[in-house]
Amino acid sequence: MNKKILILGANGMLGHDLAEIFADLKPILWDQADLDITDEKLVLEKLNELKPTLVINAAAYTDVDGAENNQNLAQAVNALAIGYLAAACAKIGAILVHYSTEYVFSGQDQAGYPEDAKTSPINVYGQTKALGEELLQQNCEMYYIIRSSWLYGQAPQVGKPRGLNFVQTMLKLAQAGQEIKVVNDQFGKPTYCHDLAIETRKIIDTAKPCGIYHVTNDGVCSWYEFAKKIFEIKDIKVNLKSIESKDYPLPTPRPQYSILINTKLEPMRSWEEALREYLGSRK
């Protein structure tokens, strides 16, 4: 593949795995210090100067509760910036890969959501991600929007924070030795960032038609079942309690059925198998 690849959000959890999976192609790795994607003029200027043939955007504002109180920032990063990137990519003839989320859907449909389902977000974070998808499609023809869910991956490194994820949070709570309460009535598809990065590479290498793709590990579980499996694999004895969402109120509504249906790609390995590998290799 003769491509000049730029990965944005390279210091993040997903960005780290993308850098590893594309390493043989010597991608250019940028994070916020290298390019503020919310600066429209700078985005156009720097991408025009670099002239990549493929831009992979793993940068995002991912704090679901924080988005409610920082709506302008969430919209700037998750929506407006994606329009800027799309317009810049269109101008230089680059392909844009962008990651989205199950939060663009309401989560009311127990059957889940295929790629062509109409978006219906129920919180600010989901609204900004849905708007980002719209702006991308309005400004660019050569794109891949890859939606995924319940991401987890490598732990943060000193000086390069990659954010907490559910698996790390559960392991930290277990170390504290206190009762752990996890909701049993929200369902989704846990996805290992490493697998998501591999599938991204496959999509690019096989030149799949441009459009929206749902990429998750296979299988559905509740947050409680996810937590239970983490402790089972690690053989950690904990006081884990299954509760309903109404007993664990959060400031922001969450989709109940975060189930992305993949109709375009071969299924990935099960979430349980991916979790075992992650917990086995995690230092």
Mean pLDDT over 137-158 rounds to 88
Integer Cα distance of 133 and 146 in angstroms: 10
Percentage of the chain beyond pLDDT 70 is 95
Q: How confident is the model at residue 159 (pLDDT cuts 50, 70, 90)?
A: very low
- 103 is annotated as an active-site residue: no
Q: What is the side-by-side strand order in the sheet with 95-101?
A: 28-30, 5-8, 54-57, 95-101, 143-148, 211-214
Q: What is the pLDDT of residue 135?
A: 98
How far, in whole angstroms, is CA 12 from its chain's centroid?
10
Q: Which range among 131-135, 255-259, 277-281 shows the weakest confidence by mean pLDDT? A: 277-281
Q: Which of 84, 113, 125, 224 is catalytic?
A: 125
Question: Which pLDDT value is given to residue 158?
Answer: 43
- State yes or no: pLDDT of 73 exceeds 80: yes
CA dist 148 and 196 (Å) reads 8
- Examine the pLDDT at 100 and tell me if it is beyond 70: yes
Ordered by where they begin, the domains of the chain are: 5-152+190-214 (3.40.50.720), 166-187+220-258+269-281 (3.90.25.10)
Task: Give the pLDDT of residue 157.
Answer: 56
Give residue-wise pLDDT tens across range 172-222: 999 998 899 999 999 999 999 999 999 999 999 999 999 999 999 999 999
Is it the case that residue 88 has pLDDT exceeding 70? yes
**Which contacts (CB < 8 Å, 24+ apart) does range 275-278 have?**
275/167, 275/190, 275/192, 275/229, 275/230, 275/233, 276/233, 277/192, 277/194, 278/152, 278/153, 278/167, 278/192, 278/194
